């Protein structure tokens, strides 16, 4: 991964579902490079796959290398020098559906990203919007993904 050619520094770097990928041989090296290209006081926003117990054939299909526990990724960020501003699991509200999906997936291979009828899709979007609102005030204890906002001191 080539980051930050030259001496340009950034206020914000976002890694949306990047670190989990099998072509990222060292997530710690990526985090170190991001740390170097951020300005002092700059932010890093990460979302990624969570909960190794959710590993399934779908992860293999999307070329995942790993799923993270929030604490493990937090430790890696702190090791590089970041200060954690906010951390949480996300997609908490529908986590039971993820568990059911992954359990069924052990016996049947089906699309884990099905096309939903508009009514269900709108219900799920509304649930996630409500969850996003509450995320400002709480950190969720479990979810299928995670989100971290970290700062370079």
pLDDT tens digits, 81-139: 999 999 999 999 999 988 888 888 777 766 666 677 899 889 999 999 999 999 999 99
Confidence tier at 2 by pLDDT (50, 70, 90): low
Q: How far apart are CA 60 and CA 67, in angstroms?
A: 11
Burial of 87 from C-beta contacts in 10 A (0-12 / 13-18 / 19+): middle
Where do the structural domains in the chain lie, given as residue ranges? 10-151
Q: Is the pLDDT of residue 5 over 80?
A: no
Cα–Cα nearest to 39, from 74, 73, 4: 4
Whether domain 10-151 has CATH 3.40.50.150: the reply is: yes
pLDDT of residue 97: 87
Averaged pLDDT score across all residues of the chain: 91
pLDDT of residue 42: 98
Whole-model pTM: value is 0.88
The string of DSSP letters for 72-129 reads HHHHHHHHHT-EEEEEEEE--TTHHHHHHHHHHHTT----SSPPPPHHHHHHHHHHHH
């Amino acid at each position: 991964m080539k980051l930050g050619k030259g001496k340009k520094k950034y206020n914000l770097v976002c890694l949306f579902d990047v670190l989990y990928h099998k072509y990222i041989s060292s997530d710690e090296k990526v985090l170190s490079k991001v740390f170097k290209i951020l300005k002092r006081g700059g932010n890093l926003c990460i979302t990624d796959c969570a909960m190794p117990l959710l590993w399934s054939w779908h992860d293999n299909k999307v070329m995942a290398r790993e799923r993270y526990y929030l604490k493990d990724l937090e430790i890696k960020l702190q090791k590089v020098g970041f200060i954690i501003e906010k951390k949480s699991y996300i997609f908490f509200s529908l986590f039971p559906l993820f568990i059911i999906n992954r359990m069924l997936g052990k016996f049947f291979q089906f699309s884990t990203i099905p096309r939903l009828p508009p009514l269900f899709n709108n219900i799920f979007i509304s649930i996630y919007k409500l969850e996003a609102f509450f995320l400002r005030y709480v950190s969720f204890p479990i979810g299928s993904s995670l989100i971290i906002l970290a700062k370079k001191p």
